[in-house]
A and B are shown apart, each in its own frame.
Chain A
Amino acid sequence: MPRYAMTIDLSRCMGCRACMVACKVENNTPEAHFWMYVFRFEEEEYPKTRVWFLPRPCQHCDNAPCVKVCPVGARYKRDDGLVLTDFQRCIGCRYCEVACPYGVNYFHWKHPDKAQYLDYTDDPEVKSRTNNTMPPYRNPDADLRYGPEERLTAGAHHYRGVIGKCTFCVHRVEKGLEPACVANCPVRVFEFGDLDDPNSIVSQKLRTNPHFRLLEEEGTKPRVYYLMGNPPSPEVRQVMPVKGGKRG
């Protein structure tokens, strides 16, 4: 059984947010839901200003607060480390959202078709180009039960009334592919692999680079490791936040 982890090289990131968009297309997330989020930070004052960027997916914690508070066992941690959600069990209480110090959970208030970006009312011309269906694409892989646990994962379908969050693209990982954010990054900020394999790219990166994890003092034991750089201090200012929606 692998022990999956992600590394994020802060010395490479340009803050372009392509990972946010790659995640959105892969997972069909509705407006204002960002399973991957890239902070743009400023520190200090002109002319000593420092600008830097920090991508933040779900941290897939080993000691995940969201798993502990889930009253129905919908939020669970797999043996390989992925933290996922059984959408059939989720009752939409949002305890996980409150418990998570990283803010990675998004509740589906609306019908997911109505929270998509363009108004795809029944349009015969679009349908004629899309195999007689309407966007967005409903990826059947997202409905499958995965892993030895054989459980549902709350992937790309966004059931109304339940919680969604980054799955490390479990439906891709199960096929031997990298998560969408990792695969698409133009400057190779991310790596994904097995901590138990000393030859994996993440093991190599962690051996050869200084690294930290976000809010380690919370005891969450994240599986996301940041290479180079330092944890954001409370003085860091977020600029150009993405709030979501048309006039966000």
Chain B
Amino acid sequence: MALKVSRRTFLKGAAAAGGVAAASAFLYRNLETLAGPEGEARSSAAPSEEWVPTTCWIGKQDCGILARRIGGRVVKLEGNAAHPRNLGTLCPKGVAQISALYDPNRVRTPLIRTNEKGIPGQFRTASWEEALNLVASKIREAQAKGAKTVIWQKGRSKSGPLYDNAFTAALGAVKLHHGAFCSDAGYRASEYTLGLNGVLHPDFKYTNLLLSWGWNITAGGGNKLCWITFPRQLVEARERGMKVVHIDPRLHSAGPHADWWIPIRPGSDLALALALIHQVIAQGSIDRAYLVNYTNAPFLVQEDGTFLRLEGKEQVWDEGSGAPRPYDAPGVRPALEGTFQWQGRRLRTAFQVLKEHVQGYTPDWAASICDVPAEEIRRLAKALAENAQIGATISLGGKVLPLRPVAIHTYHLAQQELGFQATRAMAILMMLLGSPGAVGGQRVDFTWKIHANFQKFGEAKLANPPYNIWLENSEFFPINSNNSAIVALALKDPEAWKVDKAQLPQVMIIHMSNPLLAFGSSQDILEGFKRIPFIVVLDAWISKTADLLADVILPASTLEKYEGPLSATDQYVDAVALRLPVMDPLGESRGELEIYLDLAERLGILDKFIENINKELNLKAPNTLPKGRKPTPREIFDLWAKSQGLSEGIAYFERNGVWVKGEIPIAQQYGYAQDPPFGGIRHRLYGESLLLMQRQMQARGVSEIFWRDYTPLPTWRKPTMEQSPPQYDLYLISFKLIEFKQARGTNLPLVAELAPAQRLWMNPKAAKARGIKDGDEVWVESHNAVTGQTKRAKVKVFLTEAIRPDTVGLPHHYGDIARHPWSEGQGPGAAELFFTGPGYIANTADQSFLVKVRVYKA
């Protein structure tokens, strides 16, 4: 614990302590100071000053930047006031990234490995010519062996249309997502349930009660916007009167912005959501009109769990005729609840099935599982019902819309074994209250465009083996988030996972990613990826992955490149931006787009790449790229800007940085305001196709561990980690610090100085019981309840009263992220202690960042 010091001195904080030193006689001249420009007088006669707009390179939300250039030299990065997301401000990483421009530790030339893989690399410098020819020849060799032997691992891709789509399609590469690290189970649950791509976030302009569930609202932002925008909207909403219920084992993730902290036991979120569903139904606080008209709640479910279909159409119980009728029949009056006998069959509405399903999930039942008093759960359910104002409407933009100002903000919570179903249960809770798509209600994406997965997941089609390297549509994971940790397991044992031998990767392109630290189980990733014969890494530094695994490193630039287009919306204003080079790239580094254009030329796929760019960027004649000639990145974005209707082309962005198109019309903002509402789909309260997938998995003899969570309604079971022996008496959770939220920010000295070393967050009571004091070095040993395997890492302890006593936490993005004086020796990465594989991944192949551990003094 921090030392208690007197009031007079404690405010001195970080100031150097010490008594009075002998006065140094530095008098009026020759003071040693920063070196100025050579030959330049120290005066205010500064050379030319200019402000160059660009877009941040670090985080995921791409904030607008103005680079101050003096005499051609970038001296400071400030926020662009015109950018809706950051309004002239920047987060610590955004400000600090100026050091990346001049970092002497950057990779400045292509590097070719000269020693074996799996150990720190020895590299020789090479010309672009040599390095690209080598990469091209390896790709050609691989493709001669099989069409799908080149895989592309993305990290934070900054131009989906150009990299993920146009280039990889031209190359015929198998794409690996940056994936499960980022709550993809939550994305899949939202796509499945509401048809929208995202996790859950509020309508900050109108939400009155926000459940900040398991995620960093103040240090992490949200699933769609990483920082600045959501925290700013949160502050404004709280000043308007919005209340925040923070459901998280750790308080720092909301800090003073939590009005009510519910320190839930890790991994029990599904149980709490089910108890809230139980309680909301018991209270009768449900939005019947929404459930009947826009969800499958009134659909009739047969005894076998499938919907009653007549002539291929789902049926509801028509209260008018007292018989089943198609749900969309004119004049039909569907019953929301009830059990009906019809032609000797027992039929229940999906809502009735849910009601019976949650009968035992009472607040008292959940209290012991979640370690949250039953009374508190009842109080929360009551607050939800009161704030939902079911039946209320509001007039916005000339439309009368339902007002349901309650919402959940969740994101990385999905990174747990039960993450898919936990997120689904949260969505169902909001559905009962009528919140999705209402004003102040539940949002998921910035658009109500229905994601292709909504239909796909509804079809419940499983592919026959053999499978591709990420087990797409497989019997193991019919819904699959493309998690690289699973790829690593499949690489280690292709037979067990029924992988097509002809598709085993020969070449891997790692695009601005550091999989050894980004995915669960660094060890599995290392062992798996070592089996790929040739790996090329595009990065600005020698990342740990590059150090241990790269055959070739291609030096990528940071802010010194063209990239985009980048969304700039804050969810209320529509805007788009580009990343523009603020100076010439350091050394021989180059933007990824240029690298891919060169590589495409060498591979003879340039025309295909250009054709794909024309399509993906929606370039319109006469502003399309001609084939047969390698375009410059500036030319590509110029044509894109012109195709978007900006007659001056890229010059518009070179002047303004961002194109603000104006307020998003109400008609596009709310699900209810769509025509037809919610894009014409029925939200899936009941997941019939999950049950169909489960039955197919069972029929194929797949182990229960894979199919047990494919249930039509979220069903509680104890997480696998609870089977670890009792000496593993603590839960390990992981999270992110605002200073350190992105791996590519950790090499920035100014942010590394703020959080220079890994610390195990631990409650003082738990520490005392183990004889541990603040700052002590300890071993954290994790246990895999399925395989019995253990792993341990040594780390210093940080004692905090803001975490549950049965829980310890490690922030991500430590673990010697790259060869850099500021990131080497920072301590272990959280991913070193987690496990990958059955029991530690969700049913949708997403990584779980939860495990039982024991902690003892080192």
Contacts and interface: CB of A to CB of B under 8 A. Distances in A.
Interface stretch (B15-23, B154-162, B294-302, B613-621): B15-23
A41 B96 CA distance: 24
Contacts of B95: 18, 21-22, 25, 184
B92 A17 contact: yes
Nearest to A109: B16
B672 interface: no
B6 A239 contact: no
A246 B251 contact: no
Given A22-B95, A187-B235, A46 B802 contact: yes
A192 to B, nearest CB: 15
A200 interface: no
B420 interface: no
A20 interface: yes
Nearest to B765: A46
Contacts of B104: 118-121, 123, 126
A135 B822 contact: no
B91 A186 contact: yes
A49 B90 contact: no
B586 interface: yes
How many chain A residues sit at the interface, stated as a range, is 35 or more
B556 to A, nearest CB: 16
Interface stretch (B40-48, B360-368, B402-410, B658-666): B40-48
A107 B23 CA distance: 11
A193 interface: no
Interface string B32-76: 111111101011111100000000000000000000001111111
Interface stretch (B182-190, B224-232, B778-786): B224-232
Given A25-B750, A46-B763, A102-B12, A18 B801 contact: no
Nearest to B821: A246
A183 B16 contact: no
Nearest to B256: A52
B92 A21 contact: yes
Given A46-B805, A91-B25, A102 B798 contact: no
A18 B754 CA distance: 10
A51 B33 CA distance: 40
A129 B103 CA distance: 12
Given A93-B20, A106-B16, A248 B255 contact: no
Given A17-B92, A126-B586, A129-B101, A136 B13 contact: no
B753 A94 contact: no
Contacts of B14: 32, 34, 37, 103, 241-244
Nearest to A187: B235
B26 A26 contact: no
B608 to A, nearest CB: 35
Contact of B35 (A103, A113, A161): A113
B31 A16 contact: no
A172 B751 CA distance: 24
Contacts of B455: none
A242 B12 contact: no
B753 A244 contact: yes
A25 B256 contact: no
A7 B824 CA distance: 39
Contacts of A235: 4
Interface residues of B, number: 109
A18 B316 CA distance: 56
B26 A160 contact: yes
Interface string B733-768: 000001100000000011111111100000111000
B257 interface: yes
A234 B798 contact: no
A133 B38 contact: yes
A162 B30 CA distance: 12
B792 interface: no
B232 A117 contact: no
A53 B256 contact: yes
A200 to B, nearest CB: 20
Nearest to A130: B73
Given A138-B37, A184-B79, A240 B89 contact: no
Main secondary structure of the interface of A (DSSP, over half): loop
Given A125-B587, A129-B583, A184 B102 contact: no
Contacts of A173: none
Nearest to A236: B10
Contact of A234 (B10, B20, B821): B10
Contacts of B71: 131
Contacts of A15: 218, 255, 738
B571 interface: no
A117 B753 contact: yes
Contacts of B15: 34, 37, 97, 103-106
B703 interface: no
Interface string A215-229: 100000000000000
B7 interface: yes
A183 B801 CA distance: 33
Contacts of A40: 252
B13 A241 contact: yes
B803 interface: yes
B70 A21 contact: no
A186 B59 CA distance: 15
Contact of A14 (B28, B35, B105, B255): B255
B493 interface: no
A79 interface: no
Interface in B228-257: 228, 231-232, 235, 238-239, 251-252, 255-257
A26 B430 CA distance: 46
Nearest to B800: A239
A245 B91 CA distance: 20
A11 interface: yes
B337 to A, nearest CB: 38
Given A46-B804, A134-B35, A237-B4, A246 B753 contact: yes
A68 interface: no
A208 B312 CA distance: 65
A124 B805 CA distance: 54
Contacts of B821: 118-119, 246
A117 B749 contact: yes
Interface string B84-125: 001011111011101101111100100000000000000000
A103 B6 CA distance: 13
B31 A138 contact: no
Interface in A190-205: none
Given A18-B90, A106-B15, A129 B584 contact: yes
Contacts of A14: 218-219, 231, 235, 255, 257, 738
A60 interface: no
A248 B11 contact: no
Contacts of A81: none
B458 interface: no
A206 interface: no
B700 interface: no
B255 A186 contact: no
B753 A31 contact: yes
Nearest to A28: B34
B392 interface: no
A118 B749 contact: yes
Interface in B160-207: none
A73 B101 CA distance: 40
B34 A186 contact: no
A89 to B, nearest CB: 8
Contacts of A241: 2, 13-14
A140 B43 contact: yes
Given A16-B738, A17-B754, A161-B26, 6 more contacts: A10-B256, A25-B96, A25-B750, A160-B31, A240-B755, A246-B756
9 contacts: A16-B739, A101-B11, A102-B12, A132-B38, A137-B70, A161-B24, A162-B31, A184-B79, A187-B232
Interface of A: 10-18, 20-22, 24-26, 28, 31-32, 34, 37, 39-40, 42, 44-47, 49-53, 56, 87-88, 90-95, 97-98, 101-107, 111-113, 117-121, 123, 125-126, 128-141, 143-144, 156-162, 183-188, 214-215, 232, 234-248
